[in-house]
């Protein structure tokens, strides 16, 4: 697969369990030099209650006319396929998105082998002056903009900035085998993604 670079993701969900649903996703696509080349987000209609509105600030009315995951899946795959997937506590976002793909009968395409976790990188590099590694705290330490916190897009944008900071510390960014994540790029290039037809998808954003 010719695509390279990174796809920084964040999700808002109805909860944390296998039966919970993704109700918002944000993606920031970075090239091999960590420059943003695409910014994308959408609310999703979960077909059920939206969960803890006091956390994600999404109400039932906000998602009533939003697309379903089934409708948005093709556009999401277009941004993830062939790229290293990055997130803060990325295993959670990966798990929730894989549950959504599994509901559609497409298995679990987001693999650990091509994922990078900024939470783990921050701990590895000792980026926190305390033992706190939440996204909010790290952004406050490094003066990363947190306007719109706990919306999927703005959390993805903040994570992308944190990832760039960590990459500079590690001297990484390119997809060359000698880079800190050359094997992640190799795995991303070999990953198999489902082919999902465009169903007239139109994103519905609460952030722009």
What pLDDT digit, counting tens, does each position of 93-108 carry? 999 999 999 999 999 9
**189 in a structural domain:** no
Strand bridging mode 36-43 / 84-87 = unpaired
| Contacts by 172-181, CB closer than 8 A, 24 or more apart | 173/32, 173/33, 173/34, 174/32, 174/33, 175/4, 175/5, 175/32, 181/84, 181/116
Q: Is residue 194 part of a domain?
A: no
- Residue 198 binned pLDDT confidence (cut-offs 50, 70, 90): confident
Percentage of the chain modeled with pLDDT above 70: 94
Q: What are the Cα distances from residue 14, in Å, to 2, 93, 175? A: 35, 12, 35
On whether residue 67 sits in a domain, the answer given is: yes
When pLDDT is cut at 50, 70 and 90, the band that residue 150 belongs to is confident
pLDDT in tens, 156-196: 999 999 999 999 888 765 555 557 888 999 999 999 999 98
> Is 125 inside a domain boundary?
yes
- DSSP codes joined into one string, 76-116: HHHHHTTSEEEETTHHHHHHHHHHHHHHTT------GGGEE
Report the residue count for the chain. Answer: 208
Whole domain around residue 69: which residue ranges?
6-180
In a domain, 97, yes or no: yes
What CATH number does the domain containing 12 carry? 3.30.420.10
Average pLDDT over the chain, rounded to an integer: 91
The answer as to whether 201 is a domain residue is no
pTM to 2 decimal places: 0.94
Number of domains in the chain: 1
Q: Judge whether 99 lies within some domain.
A: yes
- Flag whether 204 is in a domain: no
């Amino acid at each position: 697969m010719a695509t390279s670079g990174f796809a920084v993701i964040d999700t808002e969900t109805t909860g944390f369990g296998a039966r919970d649903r993704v109700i918002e996703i944000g993606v920031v696509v970075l090239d091999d030099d960590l420059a943003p080349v695409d910014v994308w987000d959408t609310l999703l209609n979960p077909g059920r209650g939206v969960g803890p509105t006091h956390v994600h600030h999404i109400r039932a009315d906000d998602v009533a006319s939003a697309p379903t995951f089934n409708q948005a899946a093709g556009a999401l795959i277009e941004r993830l396929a062939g790229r290293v997937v990055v997130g803060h506590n990325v295993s959670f976002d990966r798990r929730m998105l894989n549950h959504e793909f599994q509901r559609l009968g497409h298995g679990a395409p987001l693999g650990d082998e091509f994922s990078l976790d900024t939470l783990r990188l921050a701990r590895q590099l000792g980026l926190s002056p305390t033992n706190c590694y939440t996204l909010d705290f790290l952004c406050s330490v490094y003066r990363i903009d947190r306007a719109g916190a706990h919306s999927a897009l703005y959390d993805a944008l903040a994570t992308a900035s944190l990832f760039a900071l960590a990459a500079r510390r590690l001297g990484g960014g390119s997809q060359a085998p000698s880079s800190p994540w050359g094997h992640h790029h190799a795995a991303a290039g070999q990953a198999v993604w489902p082919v999902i037809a465009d169903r007239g998808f139109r994103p519905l954003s609460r952030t722009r």
